[in-house]
Amino acid sequence: MKKYICFTNMQVMISLMKKQKGESIALFLHFNVRGHQELAERIKAFFPDIWVEILTGKIIQTKQYFDWLEEEDHVYLFNDADQVGQEFRDRKYPYHLIEDGLNFHYHYAQLAGLSDVDSSLEHYGFNPACLDIEVNDISKIKDNSFYARFLDKFIEVPRRELFERQEETHLKKLFALYQVEDINLISPSYLILTQPLADDFWSTFKKEDKSPDYAKQYYFYFKMAQEAKEAGYHVYLKPHPRDDLDYHGIPEVTILPRYTPMEMIDLRLSTSFDVAATLMSSSIEGITKVKEKRVIYTEQLTNSQNRP
């Protein structure tokens, strides 16, 4: 049986899309998956042939977790850099790794400056327990000196092909699972994809009161929305699943469902956004229903040392 260990709503979506007709699979939802309890119940309702378990921190640390795995199983991880991956490496338990985020390895190599001298890296698939690494586009990493030593481990499975081969009946179930409804875009339209900036980029500031960081994050997206509205756009704002801020206070902005993967919304759209903008979210790469994509990365916003 194929068993998928998922850390995000998007990874759950990918696992469900990989399920073939008549195939039995199991989904393990890590407790970090936002809304995991409700999502698990909805999966059981729409896909009764899928076995679903929620992984708590306690379960992960016990032998009971590995008792759920059988010798003939094929285990799929999306992230082996966390506690789960460490357990697999320590036990030398074989697993397959699926790219976490579109073109993750390409972006990781750029940000980390990976080269052939980084021989001690064991996570992200670079250890004997990992059997293979599935990526969206192998051409993006084949010339990197670090990845060149592991190219035989990589398998290219274009994400767009996965989306396009979904049968209509299966896709309708996914839309129902994620409660994706038709969206009639107001033109001209401007999509903002948020990120949990205060938690991901300013976490080095270990202090009890993080409210100033959250206020700064809210103001950043408030200002983005205001500037887009002043330019004549109707603004749609899609909060990242881990972004817990409430943006409903921003006037005249349509807030899209937080826990629904943007890829699912993109598949449902019949028209395109005029503009989609993000600081540096990889999800913007997977959106097809958009005329112009804007990545507005600034080191000042993502580097805590430059924070005012």
Q: Are residues 206 and 167 in the same domain?
A: no
pLDDT at 230: 98
Q: Which residues are CB-neighbours of 23 under 8 A, at least 6 positions away?
A: 2
Same-domain pairing of 123 and 70: yes
Judgement on whether residues 122 and 231 belong to the same structural domain of the protein: no
Q: Which residues contact 246 (CB under 8 A, 6 or more apart)?
A: none
Among 177, 199, 231, which residue terminates a domain?
177
What's the pLDDT score for residue 121?
Answer: 63
- The residue ranking higher by pLDDT, 256 or 55, is 256
What CATH number should be reported for the domain holding residue 96?
A: 3.40.50
pLDDT tens-digit map of 39-55: 999 999 999 999 999 98
pLDDT of 279 > 60? The answer is yes
Q: Is 114 a domain residue?
A: yes
Helix (H/G/I), strand (E/B), else coil: 254: strand
> Do 211 and 89 reside in the same domain of the chain?
no
Stretch 265-293: mean pLDDT:
91
Tell whether the model's pLDDT for residue 118 goes beyond 70.
no
183 in a structural domain: no
Find tokens 């299966």 and name the residue: 170
Beta strands 95-98; 51-55: pairing state: unpaired
How far apart (Å, rounded) are the C-alpha atoms in residues 9 and 246? 19
Number of domains in the chain: 2
182 lies in some domain: no
User: Residue range 124-141: average pLDDT?
Assistant: 90
Which of 143, 177, 211 is the endpoint of a domain? 177
Q: What is the pLDDT of residues 55-67, one digit of tens each?
A: 877 666 656 667 7
- 128 forms beta bridges with none
In a domain, 108, yes or no: yes
Compare 144 and 279 and report the one with higher pLDDT.
279
Residue 151 scores a pLDDT above 50: yes
Q: Could you give the CA distance from residue 168 to residue 92 in angstroms, rounded to a whole number? A: 40
Task: Give residue-wise pLDDT tens across range 181-234.
Answer: 889 999 999 999 999 888 877 654 455 666 888 899 999 999 999 999 999 999
Domain that holds residue 241: 189-306
33-61: b or e for each residue (b if 16 or more CB lie within 10 Å)? beebeebbebbeeebeebbbeebeeeebe
How many angstroms separate the CA atoms of 270 and 141, rounded? 33
Domain final residue, candidates 126, 151, 177: 177
Across the chain, what does the average pLDDT equal?
Answer: 86
State phi, psi for 180 to the nearest 5 degrees: -90, 120
pTM for the whole thing? 0.86
CA distances from 15 to 63, 70, 99, 141, 299 (A): 24, 19, 12, 24, 34
Residue 180 pLDDT: 94
Q: What is the mean pLDDT of residues 141-146?
A: 81
Residue 296 shares a structural domain with residue 194: yes
Mean pLDDT, rounded, for 111-130: 67
208 and 140, same domain (yes or no): no
Rounded Cα distance between 50 and 22, Å, is 11
